[in-house]
Chains A and B, each alone.
Chain A
Amino acid sequence: MSNPNFDYYARAKQEHGHDHNHDHDDHAPVNEHDNGPPSDYEIMSRAMQELLEEKGLITAEQVRRRMELFDEEFPYRGSRVIARAWTDPAFKARLLADGRAACAEMDIVLESERLIAVENTPDVHNVIVCTLCSCYPRALLGMPPTWYKSRNYRSRVVFEPRTVLHEFGTVLPDHVTVRVHDSNADMRYVVIPMRPEGTEGWSEEQLAEILTRDALVGVTVPRIGR
């Protein structure tokens, strides 16, 4: 931030008397992500939160809880939903018809997200990308992985999807249609992979274990005992 009057982080640094380039005790040094001054966006975000708290619209606890959900619950929702789809054909049909409504049946509230589930078959393999930014079904899969947001993935998977999939270890025969979904506006997407042979009789919990994030984005397929 260019306005020095607004840089209370700098003020705190002055009060501390020095930069944080050393350890304060005998513990191993922490690899700090917040070395250096905060970015403009961090300061704007902080200022916005403080204003909203002052107005009584949100609490710091709500913000903390939201971050906790992103780490601890959201990343596992997608696996649960697709495991249900694998075991319950009627649920799968409802998921394909209206993703958000089907998730609501499992008490998974996608809030504003409109969800489209796309199904892999012996003839079709689906893969998801957002070429414009990094749109991702966050309420279902948590935060997007770094590679999903990378320019490399976003620019290449649309015009050479088979090569990119190969790099992820997914080799598809030519007779399989590769169906790329550019998540470029208001819809969010999740792939229903094919259920692998050898999982007959598995519980939803067991199935959810092999339904990894990357399989639900479509860059890989679920495998047993990898």
Chain B
Amino acid sequence: MAASAKPERQSFTSSYTPAPGHRYDVGDRVVVKRAFPPGHRRTPYYIRGKQGVIERICGAFPNPEELAYGFSGKPEKTLYRVRFPQQDVWPRYAGPAHDIIEMEIFEHWLEPASAESPPVKGQTP
């Protein structure tokens, strides 16, 4: 992960400490699972099945799918921010190709993009 190259700030503990054993790194291409299980899910319907790029690793957080029903949310799940080109998310998107949308996706909702997947369009701001 690129973060190892960044200088450490001593005075504060980061909120974004990556979870140990995270499966994906910043820049990895991923696909959101196209699944529709019942229950409380924080993965919006509109992004399921879409391909994006890991924007950052947010850290480990209690699993909202367990938390919603009174469980502890343990073990915690790794949360990522994933960037998607708008034109891939919405087939009729009217804006320019470089517009993007980003959101938080838990690791168990992500799969690696396969080698034959088309490359992700959209520029990196």
Contact = CB atoms under 8 A, between A and B. Distances in A.
B100 A179 contact: yes
Interface string A155-176: 0001111110000000000110
Contacts, number: 101
Contact of A162 (B14, B79, B81, B95): B95
Interface residues of A, number: 34
Contact of B104 (A174, A175, A186): A186
Contacts of B89: 159
Contact of B125 (A114, A124, A131, A183): A124
B15 A177 contact: no
B61 A177 contact: no
A185 B32 CA distance: 15
A101 B42 contact: no
A138 interface: no
A186 B123 CA distance: 26
A182 B44 contact: yes
Contact of A179 (B42, B47, B90, B102): B102
A161 B95 contact: yes
Given A132-B44, A186-B104, A114 B96 contact: no
Interface residues of B, number: 36
Given A185-B104, A185-B106, A186-B58, A98 B15 contact: yes
A174 B96 contact: yes
Interface in B68-91: 79, 81, 86, 89-90
Nearest to A184: B103
Nearest to A131: B44
A67 to B, nearest CB: 26
A158 B45 CA distance: 12
13 contacts: A98-B9, A98-B12, A114-B58, A159-B90, A161-B99, A163-B94, A175-B96, A179-B99, A179-B102, A180-B99, A182-B47, A185-B61, A185-B64
Interface of A: 94, 97-101, 104, 114-116, 121, 123-124, 131-132, 158-163, 174-175, 177-187
